Amino acid sequence: MIGNFAIFRFKMADTTNVYASIRPIIRNVRFINAGSSTKLSMRSQLVVRTSGEHEFKAKKSGKSIEECEAHVVAGNALDAPVPPKPEAQNPAIPIFPLQSRPRRNRRSRVLRKAFQQSQLSPSNLVYPLFIHEGEEDDPIGSMPGCYRLGWRHGLLEEVSKARDVGVNSILLFPKVSDALKTPAGHEAYNENGLVPRAIRLLKDKYPDLVIYTDVALDPYSSDGHDGICREDGVIMNDETVYQLCKQAVVLVRAGADVIGPSAMMDGRVGAIREALDDEGFQHVSIMSYTSKYASALYGPFQEALDTKLSFGDKKTYQMNPANYRETMAEAIANEAEGADMLLVKPALPYLDVIHRLRDNSSLPIAAYQVSGEYSMIKAAGFFRMIDQEKVMMESLMCLRRAGADVILTYFALQAGRCLCAEKR
């Protein structure tokens, strides 16, 4: 059995070997996305290949390890490997007079691993989790494999799975009942709200768990925006920051380790830093959403939290995807205000921004592989357009190569399992 293929070998009367493989094709499977579904068909396909004189056969000396060692000690050199002969169908040409052949460093897996310049481990990953008030875990249609977890049981079970593979950092997002949503997002700083309760529960069960929390009003706002909306549609900056400070303090009192102000309001980092310090929380870190772009890749996330804009868009506070110099202005301001790390969101389409921040800041850099990035890889893998696992791992390694120290990804659990399997 190789991957998804079952391979059989038969010996024919003329000594020719016949190989047959049975390969599964999808049938009667539905992929759900935002209320619509696609039905596929499945059948088994038989693939036959014959191999005669071209079959490779490994040659063995016939000696045991002890006999080989004795042979060498006696001064009898073993036969050197015979260079492969050029096949008849290949062109006969003189060897190029190259002093440098970079492929020499790629010729074996051991060498490639030894010279690898970027590394990825479970400790680099932060696992974003959606929670709700219910007891059951509700699947999110546009994010296959992701759920709105029941905060009492499902959340604890998912965190336990992540910790088993070395992922010990999570980020919480709440799905809040519409009845609790208001224009000013008052539920955001309710000390007995969903997120503070979940934090206290997690810290009681796993004291060393690192909990990141989002600080923004959109899950709690009846308008669906990250800030307070004026009657004429303007998102009010300073009034929103005042609310964000109260939200941050409540989350830290519950036990949050890292505050992530994602609302992109001017001055939010400095105001939150001052509010936390005034409460005696100088040890709590701030992960500033330095470059949060007004991206179309947030769609599945909005479904997960059931947040809908009552009007307009978020372009007056989130960044223009066409800009990169603006990132440096935001980074300079955030550092001066007391940020402890800088985040880029989305991630893969903004590798240049991650790299620019890495080259110009000494702070840790975080990258958020958002819901749209996750769902695209999942969908393409489901339809067998790509190898989902390989593309997942490649995308995460690319973020590390660009300069991300921390990666927020919905693949954290799956990637952690892959990394643990590699070590074994």
Tell me what percent of the chain is helix, strand and coil, each rounded to the nearest 5: 35, 25, 40
CB 156 within 8 A of CB 201: yes
Distances (CA, A) of 230 to 189, 216, 235: 20, 17, 6
Q: What span, in angstroms and rounded, lies between the C-alpha atoms of 353 and 5? A: 41
- CA-based nearest residue to 278, from 308, 304, 248, 317: 248
In the annotation, is 63 catalytic?
A: no
At 386 the three-state DSSP class reads coil
- With the CA atoms of 146, 409, 269 and 233 taken in that order, what torsion angle do they form, in degrees rounded to the nearest 10? -50
Q: What span, in angstroms and rounded, lies between the C-alpha atoms of 231 and 315? A: 18
CB 129 within 8 A of CB 210: no
Q: What span, in angstroms and rounded, lies between the C-alpha atoms of 407 and 370? A: 10
Phi, psi of 32 (to 5 degrees): -95, 130
Catalytic annotation, pick one of 175, 292, 314, 378:
292
- With the CA atoms of 178, 183, 186 and 189 taken in that order, what torsion angle do they form, in degrees rounded to the nearest 10? 90
DSSP state letter for 79: P
CB 366 within 8 A of CB 399: no
Catalytic annotation, pick one of 175, 181, 314, 345:
345
Q: In terms of DSSP bridges, do strands 147-150 and 228-229 run parallel, antiparallel, or are they unpaired? A: unpaired
The H or E element spanning position 37 is strand 36-40
In the annotation, is 11 catalytic?
A: no
Q: DSSP string of 205-244?
A: H-TT-EEEEEE-STTTBTT-SSSEEPTTSPEEHHHHHHHH
- List the catalytic residues: 292, 345
